[in-house]
């Protein structure tokens, strides 16, 4: 019984130890070395054997695109930076999303580990810079729609379908949107974070009331920008294709990843001896959250897939053809692994009540989801950017390590800046006696 426990001391500072700093620096170094090796291999042509194996693309659309931008090995490098930048943008912004809807719902139970989602969005500026950098350096190679000839009736490249999307997909508007996303998300997070830190010092309910207002404002902003950013970051890569479910789909993917990161951090910190006030009911609720949004992601994934399967329109089915059998079938494995890791496995192991209260199962499920959704973004980004030249080599693993190290560093240094539980939060009593 949770309420029978004595509540441990609430003065607890997270210590970002020199040892963990060293470990993160090592993994960052390994990442850089792996990327360098991968880049060297690609540049020297060792990776080109994949090209010979690959059969020709899934359809005329790809052949048509292939005709006017030649593949360079750097495309794979930049596609990887893009993939990780988008993945970790999601992982960061979901921290803010979680905080905001918990404020709006006036939820009390989540206060016990509120500092963790609160620490996540600090990484946004870095992914924002990465996104802009890739767009400026390699936007032309990754994004078909940036080719000016597509919009020029006189050009042989002219494409009436893409020309019809000009009002939305043009470089100035695109850049304005991307900058706006990061400024709004990060800016609103800074406001909420400052309220939270000031609440620690001065107490009272004013900061709580103001946080509800700004959290709600963020939800309004995110309601629109989560969809548009999904179109901009991911869907615009496959310029001809569109899905009306794509905004939700990407949000679902980001959201469950964020929840898995929160859960994993809570469990890890508990195992290191922190967060003693978190009881089994908190863990159970986090497990339920992961379980529910695993199903939600699958629901959206399947809804998008089934409509396209059912209607059987060539311009829509090409998307799944490319991923399931196109490019010599190289995307078939990630496509299936994605479903296995994002749905089948977490769904089955998180099913029972006891599983959701057990550290090891929660960790397993969280890792499954975190890795699985990397494949989700891999499947959505790689076919449209590098096509048959994709693969899993040092460059992929290295890039994951670089971004993950950065994310963990940013998370830990934010956690170290404040007491691990907001001591003056009005819902503190409720969260300490959380019992379901």
Partner 1 sequence: MSDAHDNGKFLVGIFDDDDVVLQAVKEVKNAGVRIHEVYSPFPIHGLDVALGHPRTRLGIAAFLFGLSGTLTALALTFYTEGFDWPMIVGGKDSYSPIVYVPVIFELTVLFCALGMVGTFLVSNGLGPTVKPLMYDLRTTDNKFAMAIDLSKNNIGESDIEQILKKSGAAEVNVKQF
Q: Which residue has the tokens 């924002």?
A: 128
- The smaller minimum CB distance to partner 1, of residues 299 and 367, is found at 299
Q: How far is the CB of 279 from partner 1 (least distance, A)?
A: 12
Q: Are 57 and 64 in contact (CB under 8 A)?
A: no
- The smaller minimum CB distance to partner 1, of residues 101 and 324, is found at 324
- The smaller minimum CB distance to partner 1, of residues 70 and 311, is found at 311
CA atoms within 13 A on the CB side of 354: 0
SS (H, E, C) 393-404: CHHHHHHHHHHH
Q: How far is the CB of 288 from partner 1 (least distance, A)?
A: 14
Q: Are 185 and 93 in contact (CB under 8 A)?
A: yes
Residues in the chain, total:
436
Nearest to 237 by CA among 132, 74, 380: 380
Q: How far is the CB of 220 from partner 1 (least distance, A)?
A: 32
Considering the rule CB under 8 A, would residue 9 count as an interface residue with partner 1?
A: no
Q: How far is the CB of 61 from partner 1 (least distance, A)?
A: 20
Binding-site member from 13, 271, 429, 435 for partner 1 (CB under 8 A) = 435
Q: How far is the CB of 231 from partner 1 (least distance, A)?
A: 26
- The smaller minimum CB distance to partner 1, of residues 253 and 281, is found at 281
Please give the DSSP secondary-structure letter assigned to residue 9.
Answer: P
Determine the 3-state secondary structure of 152 from DSSP.
coil
CA-CA distances (angstroms) from residue 209 to 159, 194, 202, 281? 52, 14, 14, 26
- The smaller minimum CB distance to partner 1, of residues 278 and 400, is found at 278
- The smaller minimum CB distance to partner 1, of residues 1 and 18, is found at 1
Q: How far is the CB of 317 from partner 1 (least distance, A)?
A: 10
The residues in 135-164 that bind partner 1, with binding defined as CB under 8 A, are: none
CA 393, CA 402: separation in Å to the nearest integer? 15
The residues in 18-37 that bind partner 1, with binding defined as CB under 8 A, are: none
Please give the sequence-ordered ranges of beta strands (E in DSSP) within 165-255, or none if there are none: none
Q: Are 274 and 133 in contact (CB under 8 A)?
A: no
Q: How many residues bind partner 1 (CB under 8 A)?
A: 10
Per-residue interface string for the shown chain with partner 1, residues 296-315, x marking contact by CB under 8 A = ------x---x--xxxx---
227: region left, alpha or beta (phi > 0 left; psi from -120 to 50 alpha): alpha
Q: How far is the CB of 329 from partner 1 (least distance, A)?
A: 20
Nearest to 68 by CA among 163, 135, 149, 134: 149
- The smaller minimum CB distance to partner 1, of residues 85 and 308, is found at 308
Contact residues toward partner 1 (CB under 8 A) are 1, 3, 302, 306, 309-312, 435-436
């Amino acid at each position: 019984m949770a309420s029978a426990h004595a509540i441990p001391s609430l003065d607890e500072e997270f210590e970002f130890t020199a040892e963990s700093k060293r470990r993160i620096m090592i993994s960052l170094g390994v990442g850089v070395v792996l990327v360098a090796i991968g880049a060297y291999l690609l540049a020297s042509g060792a990776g080109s054997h994949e090209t010979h194996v690959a059969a020709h693309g899934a359809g005329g659309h790809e052949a048509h695109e292939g005709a006017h931008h030649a593949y360079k090995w750097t495309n794979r490098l930049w596609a990887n930076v893009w993939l990780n930048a988008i993945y970790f943008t999601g992982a960061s912004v979901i921290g803010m999303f979680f905080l905001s809807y918990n404020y709006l719902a006036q939820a009390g139970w989540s206060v016990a580990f509120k500092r963790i989602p609160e620490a996540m969005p600090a990484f946004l500026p870095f992914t924002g810079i990465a996104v802009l950098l890739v767009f400026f350096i390699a936007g032309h190679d990754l994004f078909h729609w940036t080719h000016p000839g597509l919009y020029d009736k006189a050009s042989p490249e002219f494409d009436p379908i893409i020309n019809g999307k000009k009002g939305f997909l043009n470089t100035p508007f695109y850049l304005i949107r991307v900058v706006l996303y990061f400024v709004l998300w990060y800016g609103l997070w800074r406001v909420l974070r400052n309220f939270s830190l000031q609440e620690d010092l001065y107490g009272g309910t004013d900061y709580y009331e103001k946080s509800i207002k700004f959290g709600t404002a963020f939800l309004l902003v995110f309601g629109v920008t989560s969809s548009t950013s999904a179109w901009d970051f991911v869907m615009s890569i496959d310029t001809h294709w569109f899905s009306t479910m794509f905004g939700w789909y990407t949000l679902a993917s980001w959201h469950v990843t964020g929840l898995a990161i929160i859960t994993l951090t809570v469990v890890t910190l508990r195992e290191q001896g922190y967060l003693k006030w978190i009881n089994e009911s908190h863990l159970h609720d986090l497990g339920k959250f992961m379980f529910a949004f695993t199903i939600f992601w699958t629901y959206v994934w399947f809804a998008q897939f089934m409509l396209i399967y059912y209607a059987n329109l060539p311009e829509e089915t090409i998307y799944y053809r490319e991923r399931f059998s196109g490019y010599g079938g190289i995307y078939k494995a990630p496509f299936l692994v994605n479903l296995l890791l994002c749905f089948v496995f977490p769904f089955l192991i998180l099913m029972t009540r006891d599983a959701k209260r057990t550290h090891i199962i929660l960790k397993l499920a969280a890792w499954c989801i975190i890795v699985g959704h990397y494949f989700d973004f891999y499947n959505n980004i790689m076919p449209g950017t590098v096509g048959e030249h994709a693969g899993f080599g040092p460059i992929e693993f290295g890039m994951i390590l670089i971004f993950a190290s950065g994310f963990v560093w940013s998370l830990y240094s934010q956690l170290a800046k404040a007491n691990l539980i907001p001591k003056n939060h009005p819902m503190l009593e409720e969260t300490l006696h959380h019992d379901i």
